[in-house]
Amino acid sequence: MQGLARFLLLELLLAASPAPAQPGPAAGPGSRLTLVPGIETASDGTPVPYEIGTILVPDNRARPDSRLTGVGALRIRARLATGAPPIFLLVGTPGVMLLDTMGDKGEAARRRPRYWMDYSAGADLVIVEQRGDTLRGDVLAQRYPTMPLDRPTAVADNVAVTMGLAKSAVASNPMHDLAGYTIAECADDVDAVRRPPGYPKTALFAASFGSQWSFAVMKRHPATVARALLSAVEPLDDG
Protein backbone atom coordinates (compact mmCIF):
# COMPACT_ATOMS: atom_id res chain seq x y z
CA MET A 1 0.00 0.00 0.00
CA GLN A 2 2.87 2.36 0.77
CA GLY A 3 4.35 1.73 -2.68
CA LEU A 4 0.96 2.43 -4.29
CA ALA A 5 0.72 5.62 -2.27
CA ARG A 6 4.11 6.77 -3.56
CA PHE A 7 3.04 5.88 -7.11
CA LEU A 8 -0.22 7.85 -6.94
CA LEU A 9 1.41 10.83 -5.24
CA LEU A 10 4.34 11.08 -7.65
CA GLU A 11 2.12 10.38 -10.68
CA LEU A 12 -0.03 13.33 -9.60
CA LEU A 13 2.91 15.64 -8.95
CA LEU A 14 4.97 14.72 -12.01
CA ALA A 15 2.07 14.81 -14.46
CA ALA A 16 0.63 18.03 -13.10
CA SER A 17 2.86 20.20 -15.26
CA PRO A 18 3.95 19.18 -18.79
CA ALA A 19 7.48 19.90 -19.92
CA PRO A 20 7.66 23.36 -21.48
CA ALA A 21 8.91 23.50 -25.06
CA GLN A 22 11.82 25.80 -24.31
CA PRO A 23 15.18 24.26 -23.30
CA GLY A 24 15.69 23.85 -19.59
CA PRO A 25 18.21 25.72 -17.47
CA ALA A 26 21.74 24.68 -16.71
CA ALA A 27 22.49 22.46 -13.74
CA GLY A 28 20.87 25.04 -11.49
CA PRO A 29 21.96 27.07 -8.49
CA GLY A 30 23.65 24.92 -5.89
CA SER A 31 23.57 21.65 -7.89
CA ARG A 32 26.42 19.36 -6.93
CA LEU A 33 27.06 15.67 -7.53
CA THR A 34 28.89 13.47 -5.03
CA LEU A 35 29.69 9.83 -5.88
CA VAL A 36 31.61 7.28 -3.80
CA PRO A 37 33.00 3.94 -5.05
CA GLY A 38 31.56 0.55 -4.17
CA ILE A 39 31.61 -3.05 -5.37
CA GLU A 40 28.60 -5.31 -5.81
CA THR A 41 28.66 -9.06 -6.50
CA ALA A 42 26.45 -10.06 -9.41
CA SER A 43 24.44 -13.28 -9.54
CA ASP A 44 27.23 -15.02 -11.50
CA GLY A 45 29.83 -14.05 -8.89
CA THR A 46 31.35 -11.27 -10.97
CA PRO A 47 32.45 -8.19 -9.01
CA VAL A 48 30.77 -5.03 -10.30
CA PRO A 49 32.54 -1.78 -9.40
CA TYR A 50 30.28 1.25 -9.33
CA GLU A 51 30.03 4.83 -8.08
CA ILE A 52 26.92 5.80 -6.15
CA GLY A 53 25.74 8.90 -4.39
CA THR A 54 23.55 11.95 -4.50
CA ILE A 55 23.13 15.09 -6.53
CA LEU A 56 21.74 18.10 -4.70
CA VAL A 57 19.42 20.10 -6.90
CA PRO A 58 16.95 22.93 -6.24
CA ASP A 59 13.45 21.95 -5.19
CA ASN A 60 12.21 24.55 -7.66
CA ARG A 61 14.64 26.01 -10.17
CA ALA A 62 12.29 28.92 -10.80
CA ARG A 63 13.16 30.25 -7.34
CA PRO A 64 16.72 31.52 -6.76
CA ASP A 65 16.32 30.94 -3.02
CA SER A 66 15.04 27.36 -3.38
CA ARG A 67 16.16 24.77 -0.85
CA LEU A 68 18.07 21.76 -2.15
CA THR A 69 16.72 18.24 -2.48
CA GLY A 70 18.76 15.07 -2.89
CA VAL A 71 18.40 12.74 -5.90
CA GLY A 72 20.14 9.37 -6.05
CA ALA A 73 22.52 8.56 -8.90
CA LEU A 74 24.80 5.67 -9.89
CA ARG A 75 27.47 5.18 -12.52
CA ILE A 76 29.11 2.01 -13.81
CA ARG A 77 32.03 2.74 -16.10
CA ALA A 78 32.25 1.00 -19.45
CA ARG A 79 34.32 -2.18 -19.45
CA LEU A 80 35.51 -1.30 -22.96
CA ALA A 81 36.12 2.29 -24.00
CA THR A 82 34.31 2.72 -27.33
CA GLY A 83 33.57 6.43 -27.30
CA ALA A 84 29.85 5.69 -27.27
CA PRO A 85 27.69 8.15 -25.30
CA PRO A 86 26.76 7.00 -21.79
CA ILE A 87 23.50 5.14 -21.36
CA PHE A 88 21.15 6.97 -19.00
CA LEU A 89 18.63 4.50 -17.58
CA LEU A 90 15.42 6.23 -16.47
CA VAL A 91 13.07 4.05 -14.42
CA GLY A 92 9.36 3.85 -15.18
CA THR A 93 6.41 4.00 -12.80
CA PRO A 94 6.65 6.97 -10.42
CA GLY A 95 7.48 5.64 -6.97
CA VAL A 96 9.90 2.87 -8.03
CA MET A 97 13.49 2.99 -6.77
CA LEU A 98 16.38 1.32 -8.62
CA LEU A 99 19.16 1.90 -6.10
CA ASP A 100 17.38 0.63 -2.98
CA THR A 101 18.95 -2.86 -3.18
CA MET A 102 22.62 -1.88 -3.45
CA GLY A 103 24.42 -3.78 -0.71
CA ASP A 104 21.55 -6.29 -0.36
CA LYS A 105 22.83 -9.87 -0.31
CA GLY A 106 19.64 -11.42 -1.69
CA GLU A 107 19.64 -13.22 -5.04
CA ALA A 108 17.13 -10.85 -6.60
CA ALA A 109 19.31 -7.90 -5.66
CA ARG A 110 22.40 -9.54 -7.17
CA ARG A 111 20.68 -10.08 -10.53
CA ARG A 112 20.24 -6.37 -11.08
CA PRO A 113 23.99 -5.50 -11.23
CA ARG A 114 24.44 -8.41 -13.65
CA TYR A 115 21.99 -6.77 -16.06
CA TRP A 116 23.70 -3.44 -15.55
CA MET A 117 27.01 -5.02 -16.58
CA ASP A 118 25.47 -5.94 -19.93
CA TYR A 119 24.37 -2.34 -20.45
CA SER A 120 27.83 -1.01 -19.55
CA ALA A 121 29.80 -3.37 -21.80
CA GLY A 122 30.71 -0.59 -24.23
CA ALA A 123 29.42 2.61 -22.61
CA ASP A 124 29.13 4.11 -19.16
CA LEU A 125 25.80 3.34 -17.50
CA VAL A 126 24.24 6.12 -15.45
CA ILE A 127 21.06 5.78 -13.38
CA VAL A 128 19.16 8.83 -12.13
CA GLU A 129 16.36 8.26 -9.65
CA GLN A 130 13.18 10.31 -9.34
CA ARG A 131 13.14 13.34 -7.10
CA GLY A 132 11.05 12.87 -4.00
CA ASP A 133 11.41 9.07 -3.93
CA THR A 134 15.05 8.08 -3.58
CA LEU A 135 16.72 6.53 -0.56
CA ARG A 136 19.98 8.15 -1.69
CA GLY A 137 18.31 11.53 -1.26
CA ASP A 138 14.90 12.71 -0.13
CA VAL A 139 11.70 10.69 0.20
CA LEU A 140 8.48 12.67 0.40
CA ALA A 141 6.27 11.71 3.32
CA GLN A 142 2.65 10.77 2.71
CA ARG A 143 -0.24 8.95 4.35
CA TYR A 144 -2.39 6.56 2.36
CA PRO A 145 -6.13 7.05 2.96
CA THR A 146 -8.19 4.07 4.04
CA MET A 147 -9.99 2.37 1.14
CA PRO A 148 -13.46 0.83 1.49
CA LEU A 149 -13.43 -2.96 1.97
CA ASP A 150 -17.17 -3.61 1.76
CA ARG A 151 -17.65 -2.72 -1.94
CA PRO A 152 -15.74 -2.53 -5.24
CA THR A 153 -13.57 0.53 -5.74
CA ALA A 154 -15.20 3.19 -7.93
CA VAL A 155 -13.70 6.02 -9.98
CA ALA A 156 -14.89 8.45 -7.35
CA ASP A 157 -12.88 6.51 -4.75
CA ASN A 158 -9.72 6.83 -6.83
CA VAL A 159 -10.30 10.55 -7.30
CA ALA A 160 -10.80 10.97 -3.57
CA VAL A 161 -7.63 8.99 -2.81
CA THR A 162 -5.56 11.06 -5.23
CA MET A 163 -6.91 14.33 -3.86
CA GLY A 164 -6.29 13.10 -0.34
CA LEU A 165 -2.70 12.20 -1.20
CA ALA A 166 -2.13 15.65 -2.69
CA LYS A 167 -3.46 17.39 0.42
CA SER A 168 -1.45 15.06 2.65
CA ALA A 169 1.70 15.75 0.63
CA VAL A 170 1.35 19.49 1.17
CA ALA A 171 0.73 19.06 4.88
CA SER A 172 3.44 16.42 5.40
CA ASN A 173 6.23 18.12 3.44
CA PRO A 174 6.26 21.77 4.52
CA MET A 175 9.99 22.12 3.76
CA HIS A 176 9.60 21.05 0.11
CA ASP A 177 8.37 23.31 -2.69
CA LEU A 178 6.02 20.86 -4.37
CA ALA A 179 5.57 23.21 -7.32
CA GLY A 180 8.99 21.93 -8.40
CA TYR A 181 7.99 18.27 -8.45
CA THR A 182 7.19 18.08 -12.16
CA ILE A 183 8.43 16.07 -15.10
CA ALA A 184 10.22 19.20 -16.33
CA GLU A 185 12.29 19.37 -13.14
CA CYS A 186 12.99 15.63 -13.41
CA ALA A 187 14.33 16.24 -16.92
CA ASP A 188 16.57 19.01 -15.61
CA ASP A 189 17.80 16.65 -12.86
CA VAL A 190 19.03 14.29 -15.58
CA ASP A 191 20.90 17.15 -17.23
CA ALA A 192 22.35 18.16 -13.86
CA VAL A 193 23.79 14.63 -13.47
CA ARG A 194 25.11 14.70 -17.05
CA ARG A 195 27.17 17.85 -16.61
CA PRO A 196 29.73 17.08 -13.82
CA PRO A 197 31.29 14.04 -15.59
CA GLY A 198 31.47 16.14 -18.75
CA TYR A 199 29.25 14.01 -20.97
CA PRO A 200 28.40 16.05 -24.12
CA LYS A 201 25.77 13.53 -25.27
CA THR A 202 23.68 10.76 -23.72
CA ALA A 203 21.77 7.70 -24.91
CA LEU A 204 18.45 7.35 -23.11
CA PHE A 205 17.08 3.91 -22.23
CA ALA A 206 13.64 3.74 -20.64
CA ALA A 207 10.13 2.30 -20.59
CA SER A 208 6.65 3.40 -19.51
CA PHE A 209 6.89 6.59 -17.43
CA GLY A 210 10.63 6.49 -18.17
CA SER A 211 9.80 7.04 -21.84
CA GLN A 212 7.70 10.08 -20.92
CA TRP A 213 10.58 11.32 -18.78
CA SER A 214 12.93 10.78 -21.75
CA PHE A 215 10.67 12.83 -24.03
CA ALA A 216 10.87 15.64 -21.47
CA VAL A 217 14.69 15.43 -21.51
CA MET A 218 14.70 15.52 -25.32
CA LYS A 219 12.31 18.47 -25.38
CA ARG A 220 14.16 20.55 -22.80
CA HIS A 221 17.75 19.52 -23.65
CA PRO A 222 17.61 18.38 -27.28
CA ALA A 223 21.29 19.00 -28.01
CA THR A 224 22.39 16.55 -25.30
CA VAL A 225 20.62 13.40 -26.55
CA ALA A 226 22.39 11.29 -29.19
CA ARG A 227 19.77 8.54 -29.32
CA ALA A 228 17.01 6.90 -27.29
CA LEU A 229 15.64 3.38 -26.97
CA LEU A 230 12.13 3.52 -25.52
CA SER A 231 9.42 0.93 -24.96
CA ALA A 232 5.86 0.92 -23.55
CA VAL A 233 5.87 4.51 -24.77
CA GLU A 234 3.85 7.20 -23.02
CA PRO A 235 3.84 10.62 -24.75
CA LEU A 236 4.06 13.87 -22.86
CA ASP A 237 0.34 14.53 -23.37
CA ASP A 238 -0.46 11.13 -21.77
CA GLY A 239 -1.77 9.80 -25.10
Instruction: Indicate if the alpha-carbon torsion angle 209, 72, 40, 85 is positive or negative.
Output: positive
Tell whether the model's pLDDT for residue 164 goes beyond 50: yes
pLDDT of residue 42: 75
Portion of the chain with pLDDT greater than 90, in percent: 44
DSSP 99-130: STTTT--SHHHHHHHHHHHHHTSSS-EEEE--
- Going by pLDDT thresholds of 50, 70 and 90, the confidence category of residue 169 is confident
The DSSP bridge pattern shows strands 47-58 and 87-90 to be unpaired
Burial category of 150 from C-beta neighbours within 10 Å (exposed 0-12, middle 13-18, buried 19 and up): exposed
pLDDT of residue 109: 63
Tell whether the model's pLDDT for residue 134 goes beyond 50: yes
Q: How many helices (H) and strands (E) does the chain have?
A: 5, 7
pTM: 0.82
The answer to whether 44 touches 34, Cβ cutoff 8 Å, is: no
Cα–Cα dist 112/52, whole Å:
15
Tell whether the model's pLDDT for residue 9 goes beyond 60: no
Tell whether the model's pLDDT for residue 82 goes beyond 90: yes
| Residue-wise pLDDT tens digits, 117-130 | 888 889 999 999 99
pLDDT of residue 104: 59
Tell whether the model's pLDDT for residue 113 goes beyond 60: yes
Q: Where are the domains of the chain?
A: 21-137+183-231
pLDDT of residue 14: 54
Radius of gyration in angstroms for the set of CA atoms belonging to the chain, rounded to a whole number: 18
- Going by pLDDT thresholds of 50, 70 and 90, the confidence category of residue 23 is very low
User: Does domain 21-137+183-231 match CATH 3.30.420.40?
Assistant: no
DSSP 203-233: EEEEETHHHHHHHHHHHHSGGGEEEEEEES-
Cα–Cα dist 39/45, whole Å:
12
pLDDT of residue 203: 98
- Going by pLDDT thresholds of 50, 70 and 90, the confidence category of residue 197 is very high
